[in-house]
Structure 1
Amino acid sequence: MALYDTLLADLKESMKAREERRTLVLRSLKSGILEKEITNRTGGERSEITDELVLEVITKAAKQRRDSLEQYRNAGRADLAEVEEQELAIIEAYLPKQLTKDEIEAIVSEVIAQTGASGMKDMGKVMGQLMPKVKGKADGKLVNTVVKEKLAP
């Protein structure tokens, strides 16, 4: 079953079970996916809703929740942080298993060896080859940090 179909089935199930928070989050994801599908249309033709498109929207939503969660914690708003944590947990159920820092470091080392990168000036080259390998499986901030650590003199 495609990821989008799974999401729609879960939305229907959460509506029947009257799970307000889950329904709200899943509706938000569905809306984001449909909006992305509309912006990808060419010549008025409907574009297909692929798992890649769905993952892109879900990843973006998870990143937004993480950023908000961090800001609420820094501001001392535990009540709002708790809501963001709950929503993030719902969203993360649809993401593929995230890579650990050790796994990311191994992939970064491999890409650095392949590209022959020797310093910070080669960061763009490394990131260009690295991101397609970790897209949807790792947080971009963490990947960026690991690359900087590895390329630092």
Structure 2
Amino acid sequence: MSLEEKVMAQMKDAMKAKDEALLRGLRAIKAEIIKAKTDPGANGQISADTEMKLLQKLVKSRKDSLVIYEQQNRADLATKESEEIAVIEKFLPQQMSEAELKEAVASIVAQTGAAGPQDMGKVMGVASKQLAGKADGKAIAEAVKNALNNK
């Protein structure tokens, strides 16, 4: 079952249950999927990898908005953003813990033979591919930087 089919099935249930928060999150996902399918070169299809990137992008943008709303003391808008984040994250794979991320990055550093901070690009290329969907890009970059600085 594709992401779009899962979202549509849950949208029906959310409408019946009149769950506004769930419905907002699902509609955001659906809109992003439709937008990706209509992009030039997509041919009406998107891969599972692209779906994960869309979901991560949605979560990231909402987290950025959440920080801004909290700084401006807009609890009403911050609550909506956090509800949508929770809905979208249900469709993402389980995120790695900080310890698991450090361990994975250490393994990748050993695989690539990186000697220090000058090899960050080489390590990031491998880490981004291997850890896609399992960890946030910013967290991966931070873990790689720490691992290479400790070499």
TM more than 0.5: yes
Deviation at 1:51, TM superposition (A): 2.3
Structure 2 spans left out of the alignment, 5+ residues: none
Deviation at 1:40, TM superposition (A): 4.7
Give the SS at the match of 1:136: coil
CA distance in 2, matches of 1:79, 1:47: 37
CA distance in 1, matches of 2:29, 2:108: 33
Alignment correspondent of 1:90: 87
Deviation at 1:75, TM superposition (A): 2.8
Structure 1 spans left out of the alignment, 5+ residues: none
CA distance in 1, matches of 2:135, 2:112: 21
The TM-score, its normalising length taken from structure 2, stands at 0.90
Alignment correspondent of 2:39: 39
For the aligned residues, what is the CA RMSD?
1.6
Give the fraction of aligned pairs with identical amino acids, expressed as a percent.
38
Matched positions, count: 150
Paired AA for residue 53 in structure 2: E
**Deviation per residue, 1:92-122 (Å, 9 max, x gap):** 1111100001111011101111111111111
Relative distance call for 1:52 and 1:34 in structure 2 (3 A) is same
Deviation at 1:53, TM superposition (A): 2.3
Alignment correspondent of 2:71: 74
User: Any conservation in 1 of the 2:25–2:85 contact (CA below 8 Å)?
Assistant: no
The runs of at least 4 consecutive aligned structure 1 residues that moved more than 3 Å come to none
Deviation at 1:124, TM superposition (A): 0.4
Alignment correspondent of 1:22: 22
The TM-score, its normalising length taken from structure 1, stands at 0.89
Paired AA for residue 150 in structure 1: A
